[in-house]
Each structure stands twice: as structure tokens, then as C-alpha cells.
Amino acid sequence: MRSLLIRCYPARWRVRYGEEFLAMLEERPLGPFDAADILLGALDAQLRLRGVGSQPSPRRGFTMSLRLGGLAAIVGAPLWTAAFVIINDGLESADVRAPALMLVAGSLGLLVALAGLSAFQARVAPALSWAAFALPALGTVAVAIGTVGVVFGTADFWGAFFLGLVAFFVGSSLFAIATYRTGVLSRRAALLLAIAPIPLIAGGSGGGFRDVLILGGLFCFTLAWMALGVLAVRQDRAAVAPRPA
């Protein structure tokens, strides 16, 4: 995987720095954040055509990935939740195209957040970090398939839709556990994200008090993601802020 990631850099850059960069990457486990960080650095090198004169700048890539992950969490979580509520309230509606697209967009945003905010988790629990990313990724695919099927009026696709939601919630809980273990971002927000699926699952298909459970779980899910996103953006700003002379 490391060799494939390095191949994304310009050829002249790889000739000069490839072996050194590969040796550095082999000294530590890679997580979703690292993969995103390397890809962002490679994209930057390709767009700017820096070639031989460009050495990797891990700190710049680190802050860029952390900032993108934080912003994606702040935007993606409420978008995802709003789409979920609209679709859940309009199951009988013939036109769910707009909220379906919102849900897919929110899912993609949270995937970016999962990658961008997993900078520290992979150092402690790399397998858990990858599982926390892989499950929501598969869930996003299932949600996309389910929503496309619903758009075309095929009720059989609701199974894929809800399976994707379960995968997304489980992956978010795994991410919360890894985040809690590292303690770099807020452990309170991580704990809130970890317990969010409990009232959601307890609410089942809704109705009466179960609707309150579902809304409570969605509120915890959204609030936790947004809190983690805000903290990540603050850490990014603190990292790049100029120090007093």
C-alpha cells in the first residue's frame, strides 16, 4: 500500500525522495488519515509541478488534512441527519430524490471526517481505525444503492439502505472508541458519539416514545461529530498560528 501511495507523486520526485519517504512510512502503522495525507501531498505536488525541488512537508499536509476533516464533520453531520429525518418522515412520498442526494453527500462528508480526524488513532489502534473507516465506507455504498433504488420506486432497496445506516453507526462507534483511547480530541464528544446508536436502535421503526429515542440518538450523533470537527479545526489553527517573537 505504501508503494502505491508514493507512486501518486511525480516521477522526478520519486527518483530523488521516494526511497527515503518509503523508509519513513515503514517505521509506523498507517491509518486512513495517513493515506489521505499522502494523497493530498501528492495532489499538491502534481498540481504545482514542483518535481525535484519539492520535498514532502508532513506538517503542511497534516494541518490540511486535519482542517478538511474538521470542516467535513461540521458540515456533513447535520446534512446527514437532516436527510435521514426527511427520508424517515416521507417514506410514503413518491419523491425522495433531494433528501436521498443529501444523505449520500452527508455520508461522503463524514467519510472525509473519519479520514481527516483519525490522525492520532492509527498510532494506538491502526486496525480499529481502518475498521472505523471501512464500515462507513461500505455503508455509504449501501445507502447510495438503497437511495437510488428508492428514487426509481423499488421498495426492495430499503433493506440495503437500512443496512448501510447500521454500518455507518457501527463504524462511527468504533471511531469513537479509538478517539476515546487516544484522548487527543474530546473524550466527552467521543463518548457521546459511541452511545448515540443505542437510542437509535432502541427506537426501532419509530412510533410514540420511540420517536423521541430516535431523535435523541440523532441529536447525540450530530452534536458529537460537530464538536469533534470544531476541536480539530481549533487544533489546526493553533498549529499554524505564528508564535510571538
* Alpha helix stretches (DSSP H) within the chain: 2-6, 11-25, 32-48, 58-89, 97-116, 121-124, 126-151, 158-182, 187-195, 197-203, 209-240
Contact in structure between 63 and 239 (CB atoms under 8 Å): yes
How large is the average pLDDT for residues 74-83? Answer: 92
Residues 199 and 215 sit within 8 Å (Cβ to Cβ):
no
Residues 118-123: what's their mean pLDDT? 70
The residue-averaged pLDDT of 90-94 equals 55
**Contact residues for 134 (Cβ-Cβ < 8 A; gap 6+):** 171
Distance of CA 244 to the CA centre of its chain: 34
DSSP-assigned letter for residue 55:
-
Mean pLDDT of 165-191: 86
Of 34-38, 144-148, 196-200, minimum mean pLDDT range = 34-38
Most confident of 50-54, 94-98, 162-166, 204-208: 162-166
Domain ranges of the chain: 2-56, 72-240
Average pLDDT along the chain:
77
With cut-offs at 50, 70 and 90, classify the pLDDT of residue 192: very high
Residue 167 contacts by C-beta under 8 Å, 6 or more apart in sequence? 135, 136, 138, 139, 142
Q: What is the pLDDT of residue 92?
A: 53
Alpha carbon distance 61, 36 (integer Å): 9
- State the pLDDT at residue 111: 87
- pLDDT of 115 > 90? The answer is no
Cell match 438503497: residue?
Answer: 146
- At 222-234, the pLDDT tens digits run 999 999 999 888 8
Q: Evaluate if residue 101 carries a pLDDT over 50.
A: yes
* Contact (Cβ atoms closer than 8 angstroms) between residue 107 and residue 91: no
Of the CA atoms within 13 Å of residue 139, those in its CB half-sphere come to: 25
Give the whole-number percent of the chain exceeding pLDDT 90. 13
Predicted local confidence at residue 73, as pLDDT: 93
Give ∠ CA 212-215-220 in degrees, rounded to 5.
Answer: 125
Q: Contact 27/123 with Cβ under 8 angstroms?
A: no
